Chain A
């Protein structure tokens, strides 16, 4: 049977294929699709927030529902929209970029995806049963006193998806350490692979702190422990420390992959090698290292003392240095390049000024004494939306346009893409620039109403109008996806005149990625072959049998088990019947682990003879 013969499969077969897949490319697409879905949910929540704040003393939503909206918006966007889409890019691009046939732990990779997805489903189920309302930061005593089960959903959903993310991180570290193609030394890796590597290290060291924080909150809420109970000697500041020890690196987990995407795009669309490659790599490491040293700048007003505040203020400002190095390297990459303004490049270009504004307000916030004025105002809201939207969302949009041909064999429509860009870009600045001034005028964040004639009316109205521009941009992008799927032409293998290995594989990418592992002769290996060779990668090995992992339904089954158990945990202290779900779910989850451990799974071979029939 030829591998190329694309048979028509029924819906059931396709569904089964995706439920059992361990192919990193399919998992990546699923990550992106699920992340996009949660992105829409989070976007609708943000529109509700902005409509409520459109006019003074509005009563569009109640105060309680408003609290749920801000909590769900923050949690959804960070954990279930931005992170999974970036993890999707990593899955799609990194093994190809480093010249690997697969990831190191395909089973674990699939398990990580399902855990994330069911975590997101669990969180959004809370809309039916009462959503969390203690903010995405869930500070106790607010979170421990929060009535109903909303915060329990928050705890269990993040515990599930956090475990999944940790697995993804470990998988990518090992993949990059052990599975690079012959000649692909560390300092020849594309920058997106580098940032994936460093991001995975951040995930590895940051998430366990959050795991512990969530356990403490879970024990306090569900099993009457006393970590945050002042009457029994507890201390609520422990949560703040553990949370920010995780959540500060988390923002770098989000932004570093976006930096990697921009580095690829600036290089390709300027037709130049990335300027200062080595310093880019070191700046990435420095940002990651410093990112762990600055968590207490979220806690300047807690009262840690002036010495602690001073140290963390200096550390915070120091991060501007490696970030500045990166900004200048991107500018220098474009300098003298032969620049093509595609939609991907447009998003990348817009990123530089937008993100720089966010970086500058970051240094302002880092000045501990001044922070007493900014703390918990809209200035902070404006700041983090400038870095998270202007950095991460722009990066995601750029990455989607850039890798769309790799994932779906279609080039997204450029006209619609540019329209979406301008709507979103204008809307973004309209929404958030003015929030700096609202904050400086004293408008506190997380309040559901503001009073008339305090100088906040016009600013809030402008901000809300901007939010609808962003929504319009997002809708145009969705139209673009549909239009491209229906009308778009088949993309060539290398639509952007690419420089890295993911553009050297045939389109559609075979499931084994590389028939023969490529020989990498330097940085930008495909570009080297285009300039000095015949445009094709030299094979590093003779054609041989390829070992591939078997698909498995176990990751899905295990996740369903843990999902049911989570519901059991959430309800066991109110309804003892929920213990049934708790034990039953754990039995399914652990049963899956046992089956996986005891049953041998040797994978299978794609035979040399079958491969010979394949076209290049």
Chain B
């Protein structure tokens, strides 16, 4: 016999992500993990800031960056963070269908962001010959933004796997913490993007 993970309609006020001991551990564990991720991205940002003017005669940030596409990407990712909040709101109300719907929108927006990013990189490479190997600036740019993009890919795979796996069995105390930790992770990815938008693109357009 295994544990009873079904939702209890008598206890609607409870957050299904934090009823079980494992759920609480996952919640705290992900917060702690994000602390480490912060240092990871801080190191990448520091590297980028040290190398952002080291173009070695290749394209510089002022020449290649265009704010239109980056603005669209920012909107897509920020909105996806908002929709994941709605999804978690419905999770707390034990409304599985609406939660899946809003997470579906989140995934749609996240994939849109990824498509834009792939287009952006392809554009730099084909139109400007600006690659990972063209200068220290190129290496630092693709590494920082690429690490963020890699995190988005991981997040999308995570979310889609969760939604497909649980599509037929609904919400319970076993999978609610998983959705909840994904949402936390997703907000973090969003916050990192806000810094990339500022430090890489805005600061790269001026000066």
Contact = CB atoms under 8 A, between A and B. Distances in A.
B11 interface: no
Given A213-B43, A226-B135, A233-B137, A178 B28 contact: yes
A208 B40 contact: yes
B2 A204 contact: no
User: Which applies to chain B's interface (DSSP): helix, strand, loop or mixed?
Assistant: helix
A242 B46 CA distance: 9
Interface string B152-172: 000000100110010000000
B136 A234 contact: yes
Nearest to A607: B1
A223 interface: yes
Most buried by A among B32, B40, B50: B32
Nearest to B39: A208
B40 A211 contact: yes
Contacts of B35: 204-205
A572 B43 CA distance: 27
Contacts of A209: 39-40, 43
Contacts of B162: 597
Nearest to B33: A170
Interface string A231-262: 11111001001100100000000000000000
Contacts, number: 123
B29 A170 contact: yes
A78 B44 CA distance: 25
A222 to B, nearest CB: 12
Given A205-B35, A205-B39, A597-B161, A227 B56 contact: no
Interface stretch (A26-34, A267-275, A598-606): A598-606
Nearest to A590: B157
Nearest to B52: A233
Contact of A105 (B24, B25, B54, B158): B25
Interface of A: 104-105, 166, 170-171, 173-174, 177-178, 204-209, 211-213, 215-216, 219-220, 223-227, 229, 231-235, 238, 241-242, 245, 547, 594, 597-598, 600, 602-605
Contacts of B136: 226-227, 229, 232-235
Contacts of A166: 36
B79 interface: no
B202 interface: no
B28 A174 contact: yes
Nearest to A237: B50
B123 interface: no
Nearest to B161: A597
B135 A232 contact: yes
A238 B50 contact: yes
Contact of B54 (A104, A234, A605): A234
A178 B51 CA distance: 42
Given A178-B24, A227-B140, A602-B174, A238 B51 contact: yes
